[in-house]
Amino acid sequence: MSWEYSYAALVILGAGVIRGYSGFGFAMISAISLSFIFPPSQVTPVILCLDIAASSWLFYKVRREIDWKGLKLIMSGAFLTLPLGTLALVVIPVNAMRIFISLVIICLCIGLLGKKKQIKSTHPVTTVGVGMLSGFLSGVAAIGGPPLILFYFSSDRSVCVSRASMIAFFLIVDGLAIVSSLCYGLIDRQTLSLSLGLFIPLGMGIWMGNFLFGKFSNDAAFRKQVIFLLMAIALVSLVKFSIAP
């Protein structure tokens, strides 16, 4: 077993724990960590394969708690702007976009930490707008989760409903990304081999995270944990892409 594979297995295990607990964070954490030793062209397809496996397992667990009404509005917005985000890759440097997004996320997290009350209702236009932003960011930088995360956890929805709805969103978006990757030939035998080799640490991490969520989460503490985790991911991303060539 090479040290590269051992490193990847540890990363996937840790990211799986966070995904199983919070319902998000797997792709962001894995992409940042694995890109230190693997090329992005290999990292992204592997993460997509693993993330859709994680989403499928969690989706089965939480399918009855999903806010389908709100999720349909979000997905309708995402479908509109996902191709625009991909098109933007032609004219906007990806690192510059990621740095900007990281700064926006950090500012939003700071604002949410100082927010005393949750939003009790959300206008359908706002919900579609969140989906449009998430879809665009998914296309331009493969990080469409942050707007959705901040949207759900600034509302008065229970953490169970918010977590379940995010899991469903990621499953749908990952499925679209897999189809796109297959069309462009990004998923080959090497990608599938590495993905299969990482399924065991992924499954262990997801199980541990889901167990921890059932045992230790409560609404107030969980919201703060999510915001701090998102801020930490944004800070790491900001540092990484600020020094990238």
- Please answer whether residues 11 and 33 qualify as being in contact, where contact means their C-beta atoms are separated by less than 8 angstroms: yes
CA distance 107 to 67: 27
Q: Is the dihedral of CA 178, 164, 154, 116 positive or negative?
A: negative
pLDDT at 184: 66
Q: For the chain, which residues make up each domain, given as ranges?
A: 3-243
Interval 175-221: pLDDT, tens: 877 777 777 676 778 778 888 889 999 999 999 988 888 777 666 67
CA dihedral 200, 204, 207, 208 (to 10 degrees): -170
As a whole number of Å, the CA-based R_g of the chain is 17
Which residues, in sequence order, are CB contacts of 177 under 8 Å at separation 6+? 48, 138, 142
pLDDT at 76: 93
CA distances (Å), origin 78, targets 59, 147, 148: 19, 11, 11
The answer to whether residue 73 scores a pLDDT higher than 90 is yes
Secondary structure (DSSP) of 149-211: HHHHHTBSS-HHHHHHHHHHHHHHHHHHHHHHHHHTT---HHHHHHHHHTHHHHHHHHHHHHH
Interval 2-30: pLDDT, tens: 888 899 999 999 888 888 887 777 877 78
More confident: 71 or 179: 71
CA distances (Å), origin 132, targets 81, 84, 103, 153: 5, 10, 19, 18
Coil/strand/helix, residue 2: coil
Interval 113-161: pLDDT, tens: 766 565 666 788 889 999 898 888 776 666 667 788 778 877 778 888 8
pLDDT at 200: 92
Helices (H) then strands (E): counts for the chain:
11, 0
Question: Per the structure block, which two tokens stand in for 29?
Answer: 């954490």
In this prediction, residue 77 has a pLDDT band, given cuts at 50, 70 and 90, of: very high
CB count, 10 Å around CB of 100?
14
pLDDT at 119: 60
pLDDT at 234: 80
Summarize the confidence of residues 80-108 as an average pLDDT.
74
Rounded to two decimals, the pTM is: 0.74
